[in-house]
Structure 1
Amino acid sequence: MFEDRREAGRKLAAALAKLNLRDPVALALPRGGVPVAAEVAGVLAAPLDLVIVRKVGVPGNAELAAAAIVDGEPPDIVLNREVIEACRLSDDSLAALVARERPELARRRAVYLGNRRPVPVAGKTAILIDDGAATGTSMKVAIRALKRRSVAAVVAALPVAPAATVDDLRREADVVVCLSSPAHFHALGDFYHDFGQLSDADVLAAMKAAGHPRAKPGS
């Protein structure tokens, strides 16, 4: 059990510090990963940034993802070929679905980071951090996108996840650090005493506390 996300972050940071990672960059999956990653960034003296993933659902079923967009310059599009083929989506239909989700991706980055440019990751060790994972889908998508950005290595870092999810992530990331892989995993919140829902304001506060305030317009 972790007391809260910050305690989980401190414990995760201690485990990561033992790896002596070269040129680390802490990358949080918002919202839950931000307070965890802020603790990691502080201990490792690493820059902190966000990796925002937006699911691209098929027509009539927003939960069935044909693709995902990962923010960046430019954003990366990761396709789910099995879903695309099963739903018989044409290239034009898929492009329209992706275009529909792009504004929300941009909105979220603007809310969290203003106009601050993403932290460069080329040649760095990208540490992708969340507060835990059930299936790890968002983290797998983000890992694939980061590998296209010429990173030296991708480290997936989690306080807790099922063993099967950890195994899946090991097939995607160069290194996986997971503090706990319980045999019985029902819900992520079961492993935290305090697992309250985080607001955008909570994300902004965590970023500011880590020394990364939103850039102001024109700055």
Structure 2
Amino acid sequence: MFQDRIEAGLALAQQLSKYKNENGIVLAIPRGGVPVGYAVARELGLPLELVLTKKIGHPNNKEYAIGAASLTDYFIVPHEEVPAEYVEQELIRVRERLTEMHDRFEAKKEAAELEGKTVIIVDDGIATGNTLLATVQLIKKSRPKNIIIGVPVAPEAAVSKLTKQVDDMVVLLIPDMFYGVGGFYEDFSQVSDEEVADYLAKKAN
């Protein structure tokens, strides 16, 4: 059990200490991953940015990720029953939301160059891992040196799925009984836009 996301991030940073001061970057998944990512980035001496990607869900089950999109690229696992028109419509919708996020949090910054870097993707926990899996495939297109996932808590099934797709995966808790990420935090209150902006500003200074 973690007291809050900052405590979880500090514990995670200890396990990621071999990446300290590397040519790398911490990419935090908004919003809950931002306090965790802030603590990790601060301890490792790395820059912090947001993962500006969103999943593309299956038309019959939006929670089931068939891919992910960024502002400039996308990754889709082909499904015969998913028409190309649906994917195009989802790309437009997802990118509108990503543009809003970018303008709100990172309007003054160029997107980080990931090629040749150690990329550490951080969240406050993983449930199924499907969305993160699609995000990893998208990040691979930027040709980073390696990709690491760091999270405080995740179920065994998600860890097994994701470990095969990245160079390293650090998970502090892999519980036998998993009922959701929030069950492993004493304080799992929602992270506001203002807090996200504050963490990004503090790390930039």
TM-score w.r.t. the length of structure 2 is: 0.91
Change (3 A) 1:185 1:62: closer
TM-superposed deviation, 1:143: 1.0
CA RMSD of aligned residues (A): 1.9
* Aligned residue pair count: 205
What are the superposed Cα offsets for residues 10-39 of structure 1, whole Å, 9 maximum, x if unpaired?
010011004557312111010011110111
Task: Give the secondary structure class of the aligned counterpart of 1:86.
Answer: coil
Task: Give the secondary structure class of the aligned counterpart of 1:97.
Answer: helix
Deviates more, 1:138-147 or 1:153-162: 138-147
TM-superposed deviation, 1:70: 2.6
Structure 1, gaps ≥5 residues long: 213-219
Whether the 8 Å CA contact 1:128–1:155 is kept in 2: the answer is: yes
2:31 corresponds to 1:31: yes
**1:80: which partner in 2?**
77
Counterpart CA distance in 2 for 1:116 and 1:18 is: 28
Counterpart CA distance in 2 for 1:42 and 1:17 is: 11
2:57 corresponds to 1:95: no
Whether the 8 Å CA contact 1:47–1:119 is kept in 2: the answer is: no
TM-superposed deviation, 1:51: 0.7
**1:182: which partner in 2?**
175
Match of 2:148 among 139, 143, 155: 155
Task: Give the secondary structure class of the aligned counterpart of 2:93.
Answer: helix
TM-superposed deviation, 1:63: 3.8
Deviates more, 1:18-27 or 1:177-186: 18-27
**2:197: which partner in 1?**
204
Identity of aligned residues (%): 35
2:122 corresponds to 1:129: yes
Match of 1:120 among 113, 124, 128: 113
Structure number, greater radius of gyration: 1
Task: Give the secondary structure class of the aligned counterpart of 2:183.
Answer: helix
Match of 1:145 among 131, 134, 138: 138
Whether the 8 Å CA contact 1:128–1:139 is kept in 2: the answer is: no
